[in-house]
Structure 1
Amino acid sequence: MSTKDSSGPFHGHYTVLDDKEFQVKGRTLFFVVILFTVVLLVTVFLLYARWVCRYRPSNSPFSSHAPNAPPQKPRGLDAALIRGLPIILYQSSGNSEAAGCGECSICLGVFEDGEKVKVLPQCRHCYHSDCVDTWLSAQSSCPLCRTSLRSNSDDALQIVVQ
């Protein structure tokens, strides 16, 4: 009696195995090709964007400066104008202009008696000379209240300061 028992050991050769379960059908192949194409396009786009950012010429439409744009005015004040700001000696008690100021709002250092303090003409705020000179070389406004120290012309401001 020879009956086939499926619970017994497998006696066969590996070439006889049926591999229909491992076939790639049309729909699966379509999705694999689409996925590969999307990954490839994204990679190419990212490489192109990196190249554009790194090697773009200065006259390209993506550059930040227009070729015929007028040069920008410096944001800070002229050095002569900064030197012309009044300097007073700080006194904590007395009728000094800087008596109401207690500390430099740039460096947060407390003013000591006899220390040189610069007073801005428009707003009367006080600062250490070195602190406000550095600030005004880059900015043209009071560090505390942002009052502009520029007027329509720098000559008019020089007259106000002197």
Structure 2
Amino acid sequence: MVNSRWTYDLNDNNFKIHGHIVFYILTLFSAFIILTFIFLFIKWACKYRRLSTPSTADADADAEAGGVSPCRSRGLDSVVIDKLPILLHRCSLDEEAQCSICLSAFQDQEKVKILPNCNHSYHPECVDKWLKTQSNCPLCRASLRVNSPVKV
């Protein structure tokens, strides 16, 4: 006959759960449930925020103000971009200026768009593409938002 060491007598007298152990188990289980709900809420909130778009009333108010909605963190309206000054570039002998977006040198009498506040110049087609997705200068990162209600 083989002696088996793996047998266990399931006697109920040996299995006792005291009150404080039940309390700890319930506390851990409750904490797990609460953390799960918090995680799911944060995941839902992030997904909802990415999918939300400004209403047409907000877009109309922004067009009247000439700026960008605080809900949209990127880009400028095409109306604002079109209002930026365009000048003809004049070559100087001591310094060769270039568009820092496409890295091409400016030719004499070529049209360049000048950004307010920082006075950096770019090819209009280069900077227009940039400003549709960003609201700052590509070189110095100066903000170009007009009538922004949010103070930085």
Please give the TM-score of this superposition, normalised by the length of structure 1.
Answer: 0.49
Q: How does 1:16-95 map to 2 (within 5 A)?
A: 61=41, 62-63=43-44, 64-66=46-48, 71=54, 72-93=71-92
1:133 paired to 2:132 = no
Q: Give the letter for the 1:89 counterpart.
A: L
Q: What is the rounded CA distance, in whole Å, between the counterparts of 1:86 and 1:100 in structure 2?
A: 22
**1:53 equivalent in structure 2:** none
Q: Give the letter for the 1:121 counterpart.
A: P
**1:144 equivalent in structure 2:** 139
Q: Give the letter for the 2:129 counterpart.
A: T
Q: Is the 8 A contact 2:96 2:105 kept in 1?
A: no
Q: What is the rounded CA distance, in whole Å, between the counterparts of 2:118 and 2:85 in structure 1?
A: 13
Q: What is the rounded CA distance, in whole Å, between the counterparts of 2:122 and 2:132 in structure 1?
A: 14
Moved over 6 A (4+): none
* 5+ long unaligned stretches in structure 1: 1-24, 28-59, 155-162
Q: Deviations over 1:90-115 (max 9, x none)?
A: 11039xxxx97700001111101111
- How many residue pairs match? The answer is 94
Q: 1:115 aligns with which of 105, 110, 113?
A: 110
Q: What is the rounded CA distance, in whole Å, between the counterparts of 2:96 and 2:144 in structure 1?
A: 19
> Structure 1 residues 130 and 89 mapped into 2: Cα distance closer, same or farther (>3 Å)?
same
Q: Deviations over 1:8-55 (max 9, x none)?
A: xxxxxxxxxxxxxxxxx989xxxxxxxxxxxxxxxxxxxxxxxxxxxx
* 5+ long unaligned stretches in structure 2: 7-39, 55-70
Q: What is the rounded CA distance, in whole Å, between the counterparts of 1:124 and 1:101 in structure 2?
A: 16
> Structure 1 residues 70 and 128 mapped into 2: Cα distance closer, same or farther (>3 Å)?
closer
Any idea what SS the aligned residue of 1:88 has? strand
| Aligned-residue CA RMSD (Å) | 3.2
Q: Percent of pairs identical after alignment? A: 48
Please give the TM-score of this superposition, normalised by the length of structure 2.
Answer: 0.52
Structure having the higher Rg: 1
